[in-house]
Chains A and B, each alone.
Chain A
């Protein structure tokens, strides 16, 4: 088979105010017709730039320093607008990470699917609409004729991604480039979309380039994989070979950092009889769209039960993972315990003492004992503060130690989270994501809490950084005898850190028990579905599997 696409020695810089930034350095890889090629890498690896360059979708400040991209024998980078118009959509098409921003919000989805056919093939809008409905049906969208008249905001995330795939396939391209197509989706929806992609690839004999940060997705979908880091290709090989026998040190680290492959921390610890934290019958309501007008017209308030009658108990030094998809109410539980949202009803007890539902009515030492670490490292620190000020503020405000001791305490905190002291004078905006998250942990530890609530603390981080932060949590928990509540959508993360797990769906507790029991022998259908949806990344055994063929077939299980 000949190469459909070959990227040859591609170097791209971005011109910025602070000089040129290297985006790609001499990247080469090729794709055979009919093949599924994965590109894996962390943020800043250049994987998105590389795949967008194949369609010459590069920003205005991008400078191509060297190299070419051959698509069926012609160089994409030297194409004129007319040729590009034929290549894009007609020969190769692309789907993107975030389907809600990549669709025009004020045009019906049927039109958006059909317009490329009108423009490229010169058919009428009426014909295009009929074909668009057919395509939407091919994407397993139920009730397609009606859905075609809907606007993007009226559809769910998974549905929008199906629309985007339909629009990409409208002019029957040979190549589909999928840039993190499932990253913004919940894991069960991700499984459905990956399933759909597998199906259309088979039916339409598509070649596919799949970009992802998730080795599991790559392993399930691809024949060969390109590993990228810092704008360069580290290695290329079959999925089987890369997973079993990675040549590069970084690839080894990437594989070892997958939470599902990390050895769980040892849970052997003294068992206290009294629960440290007790949550009884917790209910939290949200009232969306409450306005003066609604009040005036005496509309009954719309109530959303974010958390519905949840009870949990946690022993001193224990670790509980709360898992669920978006909208399951897992973060709301965390915030209700920390006093940041007011529950409708329910009891929260620490060491047998009841905590007031409102934060401002809790006593200072009750507030101190229970601290939270937040999800988004770019939002969890005040951008106007330096690191030192971020850590000094809680010490000063809560009178943790005499004023003279503060610098020493700050240095101690920095050591605890393994950050160099030199960072103290930096502004929080000048730190990397991993560093920020460590500062966030240090800030929570400044108040010497007994219970730490970690809300999706690693979900915004790259996987190798995530592994380091998880390791830090394991160590801190051991050294400071913390009681830990970990909110996560990632079962692997929970399995690594927690002895107990609670599975949430639509605000209700679905299953609750020891991690091993729940994750290995799930009793409830939803838990089973959740576990089955996770892309499997097991080191392939050296049985006689045919490289390149297996992952696709093996992953064909319906879910």
Chain B
């Protein structure tokens, strides 16, 4: 799979364009998030009613919102929270889901049946609805978003890993490892996991997109990051009432979220092509 020399060169040449473009966009957003204070002179939470609802202009490039905060500054700072939602929104699920999927798929039998029942019940809830129901218990905010996403979204990875592990456990090299007397843990970690994880790696980028959409939707509904912290979904909600009079309040964060999601989607697409052509 991996290699060096001419093979690696050939791979570089065949790197999908979507991966390059998507990677560049994503990277650019990470830079923006880090350098937000340098890129703008405005404070994203400072209220200035005298400057309220100013259209985009020389001073406020993206205009100002209903209480006079600079939309550009808020959009740039919001990248921090939305990127964090993308990243931490998948970390918990992939760890929990991989462990469960690996155990269920490799050991099979009653353990598998029990875990799959739990999975079946979890997927019976619409993803978003269960997240909201958990947030309702824990109270709004980033922390409960991460907890609820982990509790709900592990199923995607558990399914992917389990279906691979289920096949791999009957494959000759795993039988060979068992026949040589290796322990279950060793077989799971070194023989099953590296070969079962590829579909999850392909999926994780797409999942990050879904996590951003979900997280910002919570923000939009008032259940995510709490004001005055800037977050794109919440900013769009703020602008909803001013659609005809001050369109910029909602449109700029909307474009921002689409751009970041596009970058991640393209990366996902490119990654899928790269890994699928290799195997």
Contact = CB atoms under 8 A, between A and B. Distances in A.
Contact of B171 (A18, A371, A379, A384): A379
Interface residues on A, range: 20 to 34
Contact of B173 (A367, A380, A397, A427): A380
Given A364-B181, A427-B1, A384 B176 contact: no
A353 interface: no
B179 A338 contact: yes
Contacts of B191: 382, 384
A471 B208 CA distance: 54
B200 to A, nearest CB: 15
A384 B277 contact: no
Nearest to A381: B173
Interface in A341-395: 359, 362, 364, 367-368, 371-372, 374-376, 379-384, 393-394
A292 B120 CA distance: 14
Contacts of A393: 177, 180, 182, 190
Nearest to A426: B3
Interface in B149-179: 171-173, 175-179
A340 interface: yes
Interface string A418-451: 0000000001011000000000100110010000
Contacts of A338: 179
Contacts of A383: 1, 195
Interface string A494-512: 0000000000000000000
Contacts of A305: none
Nearest to B4: A425
B195 A397 contact: no
A359 to B, nearest CB: 6
B95 interface: no
B107 to A, nearest CB: 13
Interface string A287-310: 000001000000000000000000
A379 B173 CA distance: 6
Interface in B179-209: 179-182, 186, 190-191, 194-195
A339 interface: yes
Nearest to A429: B1
B179 A339 contact: yes
B136 to A, nearest CB: 33
Contacts of B178: 340, 359
A131 interface: no
B28 interface: no
B195 A371 contact: no
Interface in B223-260: none
B229 to A, nearest CB: 43
B223 to A, nearest CB: 37
B10 interface: yes
Contacts of A376: 172
A340 B175 contact: yes
A507 to B, nearest CB: 20
A372 B113 contact: no
B124 interface: no
A335 interface: yes
B175 A374 contact: yes
A442 to B, nearest CB: 12
Nearest to B6: A18
Contact of A382 (B2, B3, B10, B195): B195
A17 interface: yes
A538 interface: no
Given A380-B172, A427-B3, A367 B10 contact: no
Nearest to A18: B10
B277 A17 contact: yes
A292 B172 contact: no
A431 to B, nearest CB: 13
A292 B113 contact: yes
A440 B177 CA distance: 11
A339 B181 CA distance: 10
A380 B176 contact: yes
B194 A384 contact: yes
Contacts of B171: 379
Interface of A: 17-18, 292, 335, 338-340, 359, 362, 364, 367-368, 371-372, 374-376, 379-384, 393-394, 397-398, 427, 429-430, 440, 443-444, 447
Given A362-B181, A372-B179, A430-B3, 9 more contacts: A18-B10, A335-B175, A339-B179, A374-B176, A382-B177, A383-B1, A384-B191, A393-B180, A427-B2
The 3 closest A-B pairs by CB, nearest first: A374-B172, A384-B194, A380-B172
21 contacts: A17-B277, A292-B113, A359-B181, A368-B181, A371-B179, A372-B176, A374-B172, A376-B172, A379-B172, A380-B172, A382-B173, A382-B191, A393-B177, A394-B180, A397-B186, A398-B180, A427-B2, A427-B3, A440-B176, A443-B180, A447-B180
